[in-house]
């Protein structure tokens, strides 16, 4: 790149910003161009009670073609009343009365009526409803600041104000009331720090003119009172709950209304905390104004007190020259993926080559690479449905059973550390059998979760040995079968989700009566349910009532409470159960879940394509939880079979499945591939000869020997999980220096390449032409023939080198370190 290009590179962005400003600033005129059919205002009627309250209006225009446009800060809003003042759609009350508001835009009119009351009475700033939300909104009580368990710089707050007693002491008592100055309120540390009047590591959080400052200052001036008064808050409501925005009109004002026990409602738009689930797509400021950045979808996580709502915002843009090309649709999966792509103006990539397909499908379904024979048969087949038939064929092979049993071994934490070695084998065989039989998923879950009796006779019961106590059993169940990382809620309300500590213990109550008794036989545990035993909530000290996510607290008639949970879990009223599994399967073959991370379902982590997930789940349920059928549906789609080469029409997409995303082979796949390509498969400890890495029942069958790095360590370096956590995140996909070293001169790779009886050396002994050896090697490693120039390049290298054996080893090394080998694409 010469210096002019370099300079241009820098210039591009400022220019873009200027252009953006130019397009945003006269947005009045842009909106003018959209002919509207009507405008509306929310709310149309509202009562503001108390002079500290205010009201955010949201004004919406409906364009001729039906699209909705936010006009909150554009439309003219007028009143002839003296009782209120209106600015930017925010109504500030002045005196008691009823005010009519007229909103006008492009000749369309909407009306609202606002009643103001109690303006002549003092309204104290509330510790619970004003001060603590301000601290949460300003980021003070966030998890990375003073809300972390040990606080910051000696000042500790509870996470988002979840523990008012702790906050009361920190704010008004600690260190002789260091943080509030009742004599000169504006000199309080609680104001000077966030307003950056004195240096604050956390930066400036608000200015002295801001509402946040005013509320905290008045709260201190009124004596820093912390008495809890008035009716409690029962929930919040966000408007709009869902919205599609199109560039350039990507602003959307939100409004948040809180409801209280006495039936009153207060606008808390200015007190709520906003966060975009995908900050690359949009940003949301403290006033609840959404501003789009790029095409995509994101939820806004809106928090007030411990209430969370997550309105969805989709942003679309007209791309110059974009033309939908009506790509062929193989099944409904494609239809739904393409609907989304079309709306966001991305083009799906074309189908991948047969050579790419066969390598991809083998790795995804069986975990291994296709042999030369298998490739030959497939390529010689000229029938249209040959890919479909290959998929069906692979799903019936035993490698499929073993490979997918290993995935479940990861989730259920099958390891000799937690259950004995003999039971590891037994449990693994049970899992393989379930996969082979294609056992319906609901039945599979039921057999695991409701396991009783001897773990020797019923290997599924080993689940309760890996998850060895009540909390662990609940957390693992929530993670694996409900897609919920609920651990946070053990000690405090979940920071991003509506999960509360009550919910945590409510779910735990289902598992509390399960008993694990040792028997006289070694390594045998007897599982049975006691008829009593309750969970104590650690904070309230009350008995936790069995509770499930959508239905709340439930009556349990069964003796074994787990039955009630599993009944609810697998019932039609809980689509989450199916969604978790279809998303997991989708992620396992697509490299990315529709919900990602794929075991982290929550409102604040919305699916990239909701209709797709709904469809997959409903198909799955209707098929009687048939996993093979679901896999077939996904694998047969064009979406699965797209090329991994991106084009200018889809390179910006990383989450809507417009093209296949290449990913590195897993640790086990890689070891098997290395063994297959070189012809020297790795032998493992404690399993029959010929057992592949992708079939290993547990990662720790071989006793761990720190002194001997190089053997099984290879798997660890490449991210094999230790199976200590039920989280998918335990399998690391980080690229590390250790991996490069292992591939360049690690023991495993070196031995395979130098072995006298490997493919290369045997072929040389059999006097096979070096160019043929290279061809064979390419077909095994890349599932394709080398190009003529590649053959020529390598042949030249061998010729120049003089020693064919050494030269071939070098080439072998180079091929194994090539991305085309290391990656699935």
Q: Which stretch binds other proteins (CB under 8 A): 32-40, 198-206, 389-397, 809-817?
A: 198-206
Give the nearer residue to other proteins in terms of CB position, either 200 or 516.
200
Q: Shortest CA distance to 751 belongs to which of 674, 814, 670?
A: 674
> Residue 97: exposed, middle, or buried by beta-carbon count in 10 A (0-12, 13-18, 19+)?
middle
CB of 7 to other proteins, least distance (A): 17
Give the nearer residue to other proteins in terms of CB position, either 33 or 209.
209
DSSP string of 572-622? TT-HHHHHHHHHHHHHHHHSS-SSSSTT--BTTB--SSHHHHHHHHHHHHH
Q: Residue written as tokens 């309250």?
A: 53
d(CA 347, CA 158): 47
Give the nearer residue to other proteins in terms of CB position, either 152 or 632.
152
Q: Which stretch binds other proteins (CB under 8 A): 203-211, 301-309, 600-608, 634-642?
A: 203-211
Give the nearer residue to other proteins in terms of CB position, either 193 or 723.
193
Give the nearer residue to other proteins in terms of CB position, either 169 or 242.
169
Find the DSSP H helices in 25-94. Answer: 27-33
* 672-to-688, 691, 731, 732 alpha-carbon distances in Å: 15, 10, 17, 18
Position among 4, 22, 64, 198 found at the interface with other proteins (CB under 8 A):
198
For other proteins, the binding residues in 153-192 under the rule CB under 8 A are 154, 165, 169, 173, 175-179, 181-183, 187, 189, 192
> Residue 530: exposed, middle, or buried by beta-carbon count in 10 A (0-12, 13-18, 19+)?
exposed
CB of 165 to other proteins, least distance (A): 8
CB of 154 to other proteins, least distance (A): 7
CB of 711 to other proteins, least distance (A): 43
Strand bridging mode 97-105 / 289-292: unpaired
Give the nearer residue to other proteins in terms of CB position, either 207 or 552.
207
Query: Quick one: residue 564, left, alpha or beta (phi over 0 = left, psi -120 to 50 = alpha)?
Result: alpha
Write phi, then psi, for 256 (nearest 5 degrees): -125, 120
For other proteins, the binding residues in 96-155 under the rule CB under 8 A are 154
CB of 189 to other proteins, least distance (A): 5
Give the nearer residue to other proteins in terms of CB position, either 184 or 326.
184
Residues that bind other proteins (rule: CB under 8 A) add up to a total of 26
For other proteins, the binding residues in 212-231 under the rule CB under 8 A are 223
Give the nearer residue to other proteins in terms of CB position, either 20 or 740.
20
Q: Which stretch binds other proteins (CB under 8 A): 28-36, 197-205, 278-286, 735-743?
A: 197-205
CB of 202 to other proteins, least distance (A): 8
Q: Shortest CA distance to 580 belongs to which of 497, 478, 504, 486?
A: 478
d(CA 821, CA 825): 9
Position among 203, 232, 422, 624 found at the interface with other proteins (CB under 8 A):
203
CB of 229 to other proteins, least distance (A): 18
Give the nearer residue to other proteins in terms of CB position, either 216 or 621.
216
d(CA 64, CA 183): 60
CB of 148 to other proteins, least distance (A): 15
Write phi, then psi, for 654 (nearest 5 degrees): -120, 0
Give the nearer residue to other proteins in terms of CB position, either 204 or 521.
204
For other proteins, the binding residues in 588-617 under the rule CB under 8 A are none
Give the nearer residue to other proteins in terms of CB position, either 14 or 321.
14
Token pair of 101 as six digits: 């508001």
CB of 201 to other proteins, least distance (A): 6
Token pair of 64 as six digits: 């001729």
Cβ-based neighbours of 73, under 8 Å, separated by 6 or more: 88, 89, 251, 253
Chain-centre distance of CA 453, in angstroms? 37
Omega before 597 cis (within 30°)?
yes
> Residue 522: exposed, middle, or buried by beta-carbon count in 10 A (0-12, 13-18, 19+)?
exposed
Position among 52, 83, 146, 193 found at the interface with other proteins (CB under 8 A):
193
Position among 89, 202, 311, 483 found at the interface with other proteins (CB under 8 A):
202
d(CA 649, CA 383): 31
**Computed over its alpha carbons, how large is the radius of gyration of the chain?**
31
CB of 232 to other proteins, least distance (A): 23
Give the nearer residue to other proteins in terms of CB position, either 18 or 559.
18
Q: Does 196 bind other proteins (CB under 8 A)?
A: yes
Give the nearer residue to other proteins in terms of CB position, either 148 or 643.
148
For other proteins, the binding residues in 304-343 under the rule CB under 8 A are none
CB of 538 to other proteins, least distance (A): 12
CB of 178 to other proteins, least distance (A): 5
Query: What does the buried/exposed string (b/e) look like for 381-398 if buried means 16 or more CB atoms within 10 Å of the residue's CB?
Result: eeeeebbeebbeebbeee
CB of 216 to other proteins, least distance (A): 15
DSSP string of 158-205? -GGG--HHHHHHHHHTHHHH-S--SSSGGG-HHHHTTTTSS--TT---
Position among 22, 199, 557, 572 found at the interface with other proteins (CB under 8 A):
199
Q: Does 200 bind other proteins (CB under 8 A)?
A: yes
DSSP string of 470-492? HHHHHHHHHHHHS----GGGGTS
CB of 534 to other proteins, least distance (A): 23
Give the nearer residue to other proteins in terms of CB position, either 95 or 208.
208
Position among 6, 35, 100, 204 found at the interface with other proteins (CB under 8 A):
204
State the CB neighbour count (10 A cutoff) for residue 321: 7
Edge to edge, what strands does the sheet with 90-93 contain?
Answer: 55-56, 90-93, 84-87
Q: Does 746 bind other proteins (CB under 8 A)?
A: no
Give the nearer residue to other proteins in terms of CB position, either 223 or 453.
223
Q: With contact defined as beta carbons under 8 Å apart, do 81 and 57 qualify?
A: no
CB of 137 to other proteins, least distance (A): 17
Give the nearer residue to other proteins in terms of CB position, either 87 or 209.
209
d(CA 244, CA 614): 20
CB of 536 to other proteins, least distance (A): 16
Return residues touching other proteins (CB under 8 A). Answer: 154, 165, 169, 173, 175-179, 181-183, 187, 189, 192-193, 196, 198-204, 207, 223
């Amino acid at each position: 790149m010469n210096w002019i290009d370099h300079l241009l590179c820098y210039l591009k962005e400022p220019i873009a910003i200027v252009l953006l400003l130019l397009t945003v600033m006269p947005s009045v005129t842009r909106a003018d161009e959209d002919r509207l059919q009507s405008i509306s205002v929310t709310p149309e009627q509202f009562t503001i009670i108390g002079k500290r309250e205010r009201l955010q209006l949201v004004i919406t225009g409906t364009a001729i073609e039906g699209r909705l446009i936010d006009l909150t800060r554009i439309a003219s809003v007028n009143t002839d009343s003296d009782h209120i003042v209106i600015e930017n759609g925010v109504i500030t009350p002045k005196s008691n009365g009823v005010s009519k508001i007229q909103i006008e835009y492009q000749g369309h009119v909407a009306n609202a009526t606002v009643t103001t009351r109690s303006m002549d009475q003092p309204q104290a700033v509330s510790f619970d409803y004003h001060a603590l939300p301000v601290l949460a909104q300003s980021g003070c009580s966030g998890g990375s600041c003073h809300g972390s368990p040990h606080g910051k710089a000696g000042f500790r707050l509870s996470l988002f104000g979840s523990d008012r007693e702790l906050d009361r002491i920190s704010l008004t008592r600690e260190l002789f009331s260091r943080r509030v100055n009742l004599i000169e309120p504006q000199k309080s540390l609680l104001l000077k720090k966030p307003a950056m009047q004195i240096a604050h590591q956390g930066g400036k959080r608000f200015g002295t003119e801001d509402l946040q400052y005013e509320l905290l200052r008045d709260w201190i001036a009124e004596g820093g009172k912390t008495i809890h008064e008035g009716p409690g808050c029962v929930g919040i409501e966000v408007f709009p709950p869902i919205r599609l925005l199109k560039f350039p009109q990507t602003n959307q004002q939100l409004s948040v209304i809180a409801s209280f026990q006495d039936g009153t409602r207060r606008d808390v738009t200015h007190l709520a905390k906003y966060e975009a689930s995908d900050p690359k797509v949009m940003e949301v400021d403290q006033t609840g104004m959404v501003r789009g950045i790029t095409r995509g979808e994101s939820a806004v996580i809106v928090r007030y007190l411990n209430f969370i709502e997550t309105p969805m915002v989709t942003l679309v843009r007209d791309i110059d020259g974009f033309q939908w090309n009506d790509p062929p649709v193989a099944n409904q999966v494609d239809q739904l993926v393409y609907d989304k792509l079309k709306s966001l103006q991305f083009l799906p990539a074309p189908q991948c080559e047969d050579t790419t397909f066969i390598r991809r499908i083998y790795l995804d379904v069986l975990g291994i690479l296709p042999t030369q024979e298998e490739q030959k048969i497939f390529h010689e087949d000229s029938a249209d449905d040959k890919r479909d038939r290959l998929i069906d064929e692979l799903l019936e092979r035993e490698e499929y059973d073993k490979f997918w049993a290993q995935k479940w071994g990861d989730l259920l934490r099958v390891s000799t550390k937690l259950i004995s070695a003999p039971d590891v084998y037994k449990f693994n065989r049970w899992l393989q059998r379930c996969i082979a039989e294609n056992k319906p998923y609901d039945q599979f879950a039921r057999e695991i979760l409701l396991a009783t009796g001897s773990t020797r006779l019923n290997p599924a019961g080993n689940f309760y040995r890996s998850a060895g106590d009540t909390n662990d059993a609940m957390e693992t169940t929530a993670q694996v079968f409900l897609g919920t990382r609920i651990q946070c809620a053990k000690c405090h309300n979940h920071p991003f989700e509506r999960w509360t500590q009550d919910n945590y213990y409510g779910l735990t109550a289902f598992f509390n009566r399960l008993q694990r008794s040792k028997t006289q036989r070694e390594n045998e545990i007897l599982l049975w349910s006691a008829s009593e035993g309750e969970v104590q909530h650690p904070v309230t000290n009350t008995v936790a009532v069995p509770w499930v996510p959508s239905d709340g607290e439930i009556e349990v008639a069964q003796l074994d409470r787990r039955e009630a949970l599993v009944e609810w879990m697998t019932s039609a009223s809980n689509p989450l159960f199916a969604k978790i599994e279809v998303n997991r399967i989708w992620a396992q073959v697509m490299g990315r879940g529709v919900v990602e991370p794929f075991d982290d379902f929550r409102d604040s982590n919305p699916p990239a394509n909701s209709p797709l997930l709904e469809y997959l789940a409903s198909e799955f349920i209707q098929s009687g939880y048939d996993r093979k059928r679901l896999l077939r549906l996904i694998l047969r789609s064009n979406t699965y079979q797209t090329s991994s080469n991106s084009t200018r029409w889809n390179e910006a997409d990383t989450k809507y499945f417009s093209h296949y995303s290449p990913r590195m082979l897993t640790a086990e796949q890689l070891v098997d591939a290395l063994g297959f390509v070189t012809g020297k498969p790795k032998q493992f400890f404690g399993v029959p000869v010929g057992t592949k890495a992708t079939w290993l029942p547990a990662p720790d069958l071989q006793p761990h020997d720190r002194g001997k790095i190089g053997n099984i360590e290879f798997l660890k370096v490449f991210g094999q999980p230790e199976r200590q956590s039920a989280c998918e995140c335990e399998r690391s996909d980080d690229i590390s220096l250790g991996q490069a070293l292992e591939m360049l001169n690690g023991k495993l790779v070196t031995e395979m390449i130098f072995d006298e009886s490997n493919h290369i050396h045997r072929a040389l002994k059999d006097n096979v032409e070096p160019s043929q050896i290279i061809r064979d090697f390419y077909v095994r490693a890349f599932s394709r023939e080398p190009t003529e120039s590649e053959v020529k390049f390598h042949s030249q290298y061998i010729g120049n080198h003089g020693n064919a054996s050494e030269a071939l080893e070098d080439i072998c090394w180079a091929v194994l370190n090539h991305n085309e080998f290391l990656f699935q694409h």
